Amino acid sequence: MKHFKLIFILAASLGLGACQSKVEYGDATEVETVNENFGSTDLQAITSKMVDSMLTFPPVVAITAKERPIIFVDKIKNKTSEHIDTESVTDSISNKLLRSGKFRFIDMTKVDTVRKQLDYQNNSGMVDPSTAIQFGRQIGAQYMLYGNLSSIVKQEGSTKDVYYKVTMRLMDLQTGLIEWSDEKEIRKTKSKSFLGM
């Protein structure tokens, strides 16, 4: 019986050892080609292209030469058939623009939260009125940055072609004029081998 238990424990240990997985850190900027779907490399390419284009566009250079305009970034609309976290794309673009030192931002995703906090400070009776932030003191945005992400997917036989295009625009909220616009295109092709690998 002891030998049976020992053999069982040894077999179980070997079996568990064979099923263990290994986790490693990788370079977040390394090209990722796990499949043809939208991935981290695409997000980084879009962010780099859009921010560099906007910061070097002569009218935007003129706008930011003497002041840091206030903008808000609308979430990029996903017009693809994939589930893509476009909020992550929006966040990356916002972060890079903010870190350029050329713009100041208003976070429109937190307006309701701010409104609740100001309501609490001014109407709950729990906050010293001399320290409460008053309604109507926030600064309005001068520009809005917005965009769309679309795709075209085609497949014939063992070849699948995926084309992505992101388009972004910067609008002057006072005049409604578009001060900057650009797009980034990405194409990926997946071909299956004869064995389907």
Confidence of residue 176 (pLDDT cuts 50, 70, 90): very high
pTM assigned to the model: 0.76
Q: Are 103 and 64 in contact (CB under 8 A)?
A: yes
Q: How far apart are CA 138 and CA 136, in angstroms?
A: 6
DSSP string, 76-136: PEE-SSS---HHHHHHHHHHHHHHTTS-EE--GGGHHHHHHHHHHHHHSS-S-TTTSPPTT
pLDDT tens sequence across 74-92 = 989 999 888 888 888 899 9
Q: Exposure string (b/e) for 143-171, b if CB count within 10 Å is 16 or more?
A: bbbbbbbebeeeeeeeebebebbbbbbbb
Q: Which domains does the chain have, with CATH numbers?
A: 38-106+141-191 (3.40.50.10610)
pLDDT tens sequence across 56-80 = 999 999 999 999 999 999 989 999 8
